[in-house]
Amino acid sequence: MATSQTLAAQRNDSTFSHIVDELKWRGVMALSTDEAELRKALSGQITFYCGFDPTAPSLHLGNLVQLITMRRLQLAGHKPLALVGGATGLIGDPKPTAERTLNDRETVGLWVEKLAEQNSRFLDFEGENAARMVNNLDWTKEYSAIDFLREIGKHYRVGKMLSKDAVSARLNSEAGISYTEFSYQILQGLDFLELYRRYGCTMQTGGSDQWGNLTSGTDLIHRVEGKSVHLIATPLITNADGKKFGKSEGNAIWLDAELTSPYAMYQFWLNTDDADVIDRLKVFTFLSRAEIEDYEAQVAAEPHLRAAQRRLALEVTELVHSEQEAQAARDASLALFGSGDLAALDAATLRSALAELPNAKVDSGVTVIQALVESGLAESNGAARRAIEQGAVSVNKQKISDTDATVSDFLHGQMAVIAKGKKNLAGLFLSG
């Protein structure tokens, strides 16, 4: 968890005269309402919000873009409202292809608590522009169906609702769209209206793929209150090859350490492609423009050193987890793939790191040949024997030359690292 000391160390870049300029340079402002008016508003102090629906037990890297953007705005003097959707999470915004599975109220309630805790790591809840946590169930539950239709629904035109990208995509799919998900944009519009009335909130941030839902709120406030409010939308982050960022073999990278360990988080960022790393530093760290430009020069001159990736991995892992966890993940990475000392790793860090590698449970006295096969590093006993004879095999970084050798040294009495070559590693866990 980020500490108050970590938050205090974060600063907006003083080389930018306006927060809008910094957001644009960092590549996190894809769309907005009238930019000239937005600049005027952000020249003073405003209250803004971003919403997070509890459709899973954790936030992920896509949400991290929003959290960091909120933090940048707070550092610029503005007041954040972190909205966790206890009401909208019971429905879920329309996915492009199919209806969401509706989770029960108890599950959604538990996830609300988890997401609220995660939000609290990134924002400062003290001081003149202290953040505030809000839950849209607090006002939505007060509406009867009749009241909702009379007071809110009457301001929406079905034709315009049908034109929203998320809705039109589903209408043209085999799955179609239910009235439940079709109504989601009205609920999100209600959120902005309520926050405007309760806290004077005049800006919402979100992803550009949610632009239709974002404009629902600005339109509703204009109709009901006769006022203009603002939007900032971050772009969909993609890799240089055009693939959606944040997916690892089809699995999201979660901010919850139980779903994605600090070591796995660190390794994800460490493996960033040279073509993407500078953009990632801009979006996901609080390094200054000068620091990032220095890393850009290093990537161009000495890409093999991967200095930018190592800094990126350390910064983001510390931001999401803690300085201690980030250092432990870095030490584990060095111990496994570099010159670091495996024996110096504590048991929990080593276990977490080995869980991310191919691994196997083995019995005491297992031969190195058996361990190679059972861990998947060798296809057969013969292939394992040849690898040993070629000097390609090590256990806990100690080269194995005897084809009859057994694995006798288990770190912390429980684990060992077996390798074939420099990059093909596996974890061995002692059974029993």
User: For position 140, what pLDDT does the model report?
Assistant: 96
Mean pLDDT of 231-253: 78
Q: Which residues lie below 8 Å from residue 233, measured CB to CB, with a gap of 6+?
A: 29, 30, 31, 32, 205, 206, 207, 208, 210, 211, 214
Sheet holding 424-430, edge to edge: 359-362, 424-430, 415-420, 393-395, 398-399
User: Please, which pLDDT band fits residue 98 given cuts at 50, 70 and 90?
Assistant: confident
415/427 Cα distance (integer angstroms): 7
Amino acid identity for residue 390 in this structure? Q
- Domains of the chain, each with CATH number or no CATH: 4-236 (3.40.50.620), 237-342 (1.10.240.10), 357-432 (3.10.290.10)
- E strand or H helix that includes residue 233: strand 230-234
Which pLDDT score, from 0 to 100, does residue 1 have?
A: 47
Residue type, 174: E
Which helix or strand (DSSP H or E) is residue 296 part of? helix 289-301
Q: What is the number of residues in the chain?
A: 432
Q: Indicate the average pLDDT of the chain.
A: 93
> Tens digits of per-residue pLDDT, 19-55?
999 999 999 999 999 999 999 999 999 999 999 999 9
> Shortest CA distance to 28 belongs to which of 71, 59, 60?
71
- Is the confidence at residue 253, as pLDDT, over 50? yes
Whole-model pTM: value is: 0.91
Q: Which residues pair with 371 in a beta bridge?
A: none
pLDDT above 80 for 6: no
- Residue scoring higher pLDDT (91 or 314): 314
pLDDT of residue 2: 52
Residue type, 352: S
Position 341 pLDDT exceeds 60: yes
Q: Do residues 396 and 413 make contact, with C-beta atoms less than 8 angstroms apart?
A: no
Token pair for residue 359?
A: 């691994």
Who wins on pLDDT, 84 or 11?
84
